Every structure is written in C-alpha cells, then in structure tokens.
Amino acid sequence: MNLDKKKYVQTMFDSISKKYDFLNHLLSAGIDFYWRRKALKLTGLRPEAKLLDVACGTGDFANDAHKKFGVKNIVGADLSLKMLKLFNKKFNYSQGRTIQAVAEQMPFKDSAFTNITVAFGVRNFYDIKQGFLEFHRVLEKDGKATILEFKMPQNFLIKKIYDFYFSRILPLIGKIISSNPEAYKYLPESVHSFDKKIDLKGLLYEAGFSNVEYYTLTFGLVQVAIAEK
C-alpha cells in the first residue's frame, strides 16, 4: 500500500473533524467514554506518566488521562492537522504538545515515553506491525502500550445486531450529519477487515513486547490490549 491508505485516511479525518466528537458520542450512545476510562484503569496509568497518544484525533483519550488520572506530560500525534487543531482547542497542557506524525515513522528518541495509548486508530495504520515496532522503540523498559479497538462480537445474536447497526444505521446517520458520508461506510468495512486479518496479540509479541494482557468489553464489541515492553 500504502501511501494510498495514508493519504485516504488523512483526507477522510480532515473532512469529518468538526463533527467527529459529536458523532462518536452519538453513534456509541456515550459508551465510548466508559471504554476509554476502563482501558486507562486496566493499564494502571499513573500521574507521573510520560504519555504518547497515537492517532489522537481530537484528544478524548488524552483528555481522560489528564482529567481522570492526573497525567500532565502528554504528546498527541496524528496525521490529520485539523484533528490536532481541535485537540489543542480542547485543552492546553503546560508540559504537552501535539505533532503531525504517523505511527510507522515517529520522530521521537528511543525510550522517550512510559505509556502509549491509541483508541480506534490501529486499523487505520498503513503497516500495523511497523507501527508496533515503533511503539516498542519509543517506550521505556516496562513501559506499556494500550490499544482500544473495535472488534466483531462472538455471540451470534449480538453479532447480527451489531452488524446491522454498523452496516445500515451508522452510515445513514453519518450521511445525514457528516460532510463525508463515505467515512461512515469506511468504519464498518475497516472493522470487518481488521477482525478477519489482524491478530492483535500476535503482532504485539512479534514487535518485541514481553507481555500482552487482553480484554473485551460490552459483549465483545471492543477489545483492549495492554502490551508491556
């Protein structure tokens, strides 16, 4: 690929940036707040953490780390400049900053962070394994990477309901509200593809992580992987 995917993802998120938060909270019925905070709690995030939020978007994950867990030293990295502008408007860290960057090529020194977070962004990487290798490189020893991502539930009935909502209802709402309806067709397609092709735990171990804790939340609708260097 995969510069084509990189450009596509950048253009798509630039186009939906203004409605991104509203649609996220609406389409998840607000459960996304719980998912992020639960993932950070499972990580054991501490106030003194040096946190890199990858594919940070408008900064909801970083905002929870700051407000709920007391973290002040935060860097947000994203490909979309429009998302980063909204990140900066949402809150201002005295010790934090944002930078335009992709996971596969991060402009940071080795062992620069104690923690990495990424919420619903790994499936948008153009080379997931390379992204995880970079995670491992920029984390300190014993540092943790926390990945929150959608998945297809295993329960047959829940999977049918979820698939109907993702394939029919979500794109319709996205079309009505968003200026880029294609973005909300991409979401279910990317989740299906990710679920079929990507072994999250396996790729993290291949990238050099020594231990990976894995959880599913809300009837298996989302997954949390916490990888320790």
User: Which has more pLDDT, 153 or 25?
Assistant: 153
Cα gap 213→228, rounded to integer Å: 8
Q: At residue 2, does pLDDT exceed 70? A: no
Q: Name the class of domain 3-152+199-228.
A: alpha beta
Q: At residue 140, does pLDDT exceed 50? A: yes
Give SS3 for 216: strand
In the block, tokens 């080795």 appear at 110
* Range ranked top by mean pLDDT from 71-75, 112-116, 166-170, 180-184: 112-116
pLDDT at 97: 86
| pLDDT band per the 50, 70, 90 thresholds, residue 207 | very high
DSSP letter (8 states) at residue 124: G
Q: At residue 76, does pLDDT exceed 80? A: yes
- Amino acid symbol at 200: L
Write the pLDDT tens digit of every residue in 95-117.
Answer: 568 999 999 999 999 999 999 99
Is the separation of the CB atoms in 71 and 65 below 8 Å?
Answer: yes
Is the separation of the CB atoms in 55 and 78 below 8 Å?
Answer: yes
Q: What pTM was computed for the model?
A: 0.91
Residue 4 burial (CB count, 10 A) = 9
Q: What value does the mean pLDDT of the chain take?
A: 89
Cα gap 163→185, rounded to integer Å: 12
